Structure 1
């Protein structure tokens, strides 16, 4: 039986820990208060960083930074980070540096082929 097949009150709530804060949180309320697919763990991690200046244990964001202007964002998944980088590059014609949690930094350049998608 998967967690998805169990009733809500029997599901194990996810736990998030932060060594720097020396705390651990059980996200039972967050999971119950949000709709399915709302990404409670990701939202908690973003809120934690917003309030403390650092992410919980095991969370490293994707960072998209413009090479020419001060714009940039942090994301917890590749897809929104890449979408932001490509959109910013296309609209500003600036190159954006896409930094994954691990691996090589990638430059996302504006398209010169006239593609307006």
Structure 2
């Protein structure tokens, strides 16, 4: 598992017989996990790898190796969220700005910042 330039989680493992279940590692936990059970339990398109990364962060307070989230934060209220890809992060920021008229900061995993305002709609 790796994160591309946008911070999206991708599966880099492919065997001769097709895709292998990805392995996720975490140096802080000193562990690795094979996600074959998670892939069996989640239907295609269910984003099992992303869900594992989010669950790992929720339980440990940090993401697995190579995963950095997109962070969106409202400047006026305590609302904010983290996402593993750009599209849902920007959608959340645009929706929040449109409904509240608040300015929202969008921070990419690369450290690049952007601002979304209601006027952007």
Q: Which of residues 46, 61, 66 is equivalent to 1:53?
A: 61
Alpha-carbon offset, residue 11 of structure 1: 4.2
1:37 matched to which residue of 2? Answer: 45
Larger Rg: 1
> Within 5 Å, which residues of 2 pair with 1:81-100?
81-100=89-108
Report the TM-score, using the length of structure 1 for normalisation. Answer: 0.86
Q: Residues of 2 paired with 1:41 and 1:68: CA distance?
A: 33
Choose between structure 1 and 2 for higher RCO, CA contacts under 8 A separated by at least 6 residues.
2
Matches within 5 A, 1:1-117: 11-111=19-119
Q: Which has the higher strand share?
A: 2
Q: 1:11 to 1:102 in 2, by over 3 A?
A: closer
Which 5+ residue runs of structure 1 have no aligned equivalent?
Answer: none
TM-score normalised by the chain length of structure 2: 0.83
Write the distance in 2 (CA, Å) between the matches of 1:11 and 1:102: 28
Q: How far apart, CA to CA, are the structure 1 residues paired with 2:106 and 2:81?
A: 10
Name the count of aligned residue pairs.
107
SS of 1:79's equivalent in the other structure is: helix
Structure 1 stretches of at least 4 aligned residues deviating more than 2 Å after TM superposition: none
